[in-house]
Amino acid sequence: MPIKSTCAAAALLAASGATFAQNSASSSDAPAEIEQVVVWGTEVKASSVYMDTTDITMRQADHISDLLRTIPGVDVGGAHSMNQRITIRSMDDKDLRISIDGANQNTYMYHHMGNLQIHADILKSVDIDVGTNSVINGGLGGAVRFETKEAKDMLAAGESFGARLQGTTSDNSGHNYSIAAFAQLGDTVDLLAYYNRVERDNYEVGGGKIIGSDGNELPGTDGTVRGLKGEIDDALIKVGFDFTPSQRLEIGYESYTDEGDYSYRPDMGLATDLAITNSLGVPLLWPTEFSRDTITANYDLLIGSHTEIKAAVFQNESNLWRDESGYAENPDFVTWAAIVEGDAKNTGFNIIGETEFGSSINQTLTYGVDVIKYETEYQASYIEGGVDSSSEDATNSAVFVQDRIEFGMFAVIPGVRFDEYDVNSTVVDKSYDDVTTSIAAEFQPTDALVFKASSTELFKGPELSEVFTGAGLFETPNPELEAESGVNNELAFAYGDAILGADLFSVGATFFNTEIDGYIYQYASPAMDNVGDMEIEGVEAYVGYDIGGLRALITYSDAESELDAFDEYSQYQGARIDRQQGDTWSVNLDYTFSNLDLALHYDVLMVDDVAAGPDLDGASLENAKDGFTVHNISLQWQPLQRLQLTAGIDNVFDEFYASQSSRTGTSFHPRFGQLYLTDYEPGRNIKATVAYQF
């Protein structure tokens, strides 16, 4: 009895749709050995859309965006390996709950990089709640749960050992190699050892020219973005203990390192880095290393046929180090030259249980505890002597309970959550607490159709200060800073059945309105502050059509934000969230030739323009965002049972573009002049992968 997700109605139908797909697959005559290779792929599930969650290794993802950008309501900004910035409904990763194997990843390390560093190859599954739709997750904008691979999924019945080798090469992004070994040690112990190395290159943008806001090629550029070349090493060890058929303990350790001579501002385009570098007379590239070490222990317990308990204990430590001694090349800035280091540690545990009971009225009770302690440290050791250092900490503790009450075609889902947040930072030293509630109602007149309405109260305490710029050392106190609160309202429907000649025809939509009271703006002057009430509203929709070997999916999403500013911050009136993107369409087509063991994939992402307008933390001179259309194709062939060959082309038509969830536009700086911020994505990229499983 799996723990159920009480998200939008689309997720309910996604579950039944996935079951249909699995049943169809089980009736295939394909040999079991083929499934051993297929299982290496990543499953992606989202509450905003029904997707066939079968293997999508054919996308050869070397960035999280390759997995998630076609999910309605979700985007990943940032083209640099250190700037994977997930957004949901325009809200960035600081407003989401992000975890890997149950370990919380939310750490505000550096405003020029994202809060998540992970390579897609290591992932078994990604489960996304688009929006906060229940009291289980907390946070403001939703949750993303990454799960890494484990040995018990890799071995076929009767096998006690296996291994897998994979290599990928591309003409415009670099290469990566991975090796995995997995074993069943006796009846109760399984082991996975995994290592992946990525050698990233400086890529060329679409069209081979870096074009400025005036439409002309930027002086001093040749179409190749500098400051991207580096190496990623990702190692994972997992040991599982099946004490009984109803008890499992899994202990994991992951070590992730990303290092290279990188640009000072990984989220900004080459044009900005060149302008600042030339003005200051300092290096363009800086020796940089990011490392993340995560230790997890996950325990699953099944009690009878009615109760399941899942518990996780974790410690996640991230470290960002940079050699800034290059400032000494200019005598005017020799006092800035230093070795700078920021460290962030998340330690915690969570327990979630689910119990089913009842006869004429069925109930599913979900309950749990969630505790996270955040600790940050900063140190700058200056070449000419002296050290700056600072530290901050915060603890968030929560308990929650939710009940799903089913009677006939109807279900009511009430929930309540209590959060206590204690923060000790330069900006604020205070304790916050709040009781939030949720209520949802479902109507399912047939097995194929479901409607859902929900309302969930929101709460989030103030973030700790940014780590790498001082961990509060240079912040201004604001003891009046309040926690953010609000409500997320949703209305959804989903339908899926074998009609219109299809094996499965699916359609669904989620309409939402999110209100965040006391929205916190990091760069309010003179200190971080509540600047007004933010409203975000929009829709996510999809239509799917599966017949024979063809799977087709069309998605649409739109999220528009607007701030009702407080009187003292009237200059922000009507401002949108800077990560907001235009109306977004995607088309996904997959066709499988089962008799040839051949699969084809095509997807296109179409993003509309965003007009200029007031925003928070956007470009100051020109913040309109250009729309774009990007096409990707790939094919996968399995000529032997254990050999898999994949080839594809990303950005087939060599589009010059930037994600609208990345930095875009032109700003003015009093010293550096106009800065073109746009973080360009790679141009056409031809990729090929060979994988062999022993």
> For the segment 543-563, what is each residue's pLDDT rounded down to a tens digit?
999 999 999 999 999 999 999
State yes or no: pLDDT of 406 exceeds 60.
yes
Q: What are phi and psi for residue 403, nearest 5 degrees?
A: -125, 125
Domain limits, the chain:
9-693
Say which residue, 158 or 246, is predicted with more confidence: 246
Q: 3-class DSSP state for residue 520? A: strand
Task: Quote the pLDDT of residue 156.
Answer: 76
pLDDT of residue 49: 85
Query: Peptide bond preceding 614: is omega within 30 degrees of 0, i.e. cis?
Result: no
pLDDT above 50 (res 690) = yes
Q: Is the pLDDT of residue 14 over 80?
A: no
pLDDT of residue 18: 32
Say what the pLDDT of residue 463 is: 93
542's tokens: 């999809």
- 164: its two tokens: 């897998």
pLDDT score, position 55: 54
pLDDT at 10: 38
What token pair was written down for 223? Answer: 């179409």
Residue 89 has pLDDT above 70, yes or no: yes
For the ranges 117-121, 135-139, 286-290, 526-530, which has the lowest average pLDDT?
117-121
Residue-averaged pLDDT of the chain: 90
Is the full-model pTM beyond 0.75?
yes
Higher-pLDDT residue of 503, 15? 503
Q: What pLDDT score was predicted for residue 1? A: 39
pLDDT for 492: 96
- Give 203 or 24, the one with higher predicted confidence: 203
Nearest alpha-carbon partner for 404 in 457, 466, 361, 341: 361
Which parts of 32-158 fold into alpha helices (H)?
Answer: 32-38, 65-68
- Is residue 336 over pLDDT 70? yes
Per-residue DSSP letter, 572: G
Tell me which residue of 33, 44, 35 sits closest to 70, measured CA to CA: 44
Instruction: Give the model's pLDDT for residue 448.
Output: 95
What's the pLDDT tens digit per position in 39-71?
Answer: 577 888 888 887 655 556 777 777 788 888 889
Q: Which CATH class is domain 9-693?
A: mainly beta
CA-nearest of 21, 137, 128 to 64 is 128
581 Cβ neighbours under 8 A, 6+ residues apart: 75, 90, 559, 607, 610, 625, 659, 660, 661
d(CA 65, CA 77): 8
Contact at 8 Å (CB) between 67 and 114? no
Q: What is the mean pLDDT of residues 626-640?
A: 94
Task: Using alpha carbons, list the distances in angstroms from residue 515 to 57, 565, 570.
Answer: 38, 13, 19
pLDDT tens figures, 454-482: 999 999 999 999 999 999 999 999 999 99
Residue 596, pLDDT score: 92
Q: What is the pLDDT of residues 171-187, one digit of tens each?
A: 998 999 999 999 999 88
Range 572-595 average pLDDT: 94
Residue 339 has pLDDT above 50, yes or no: yes
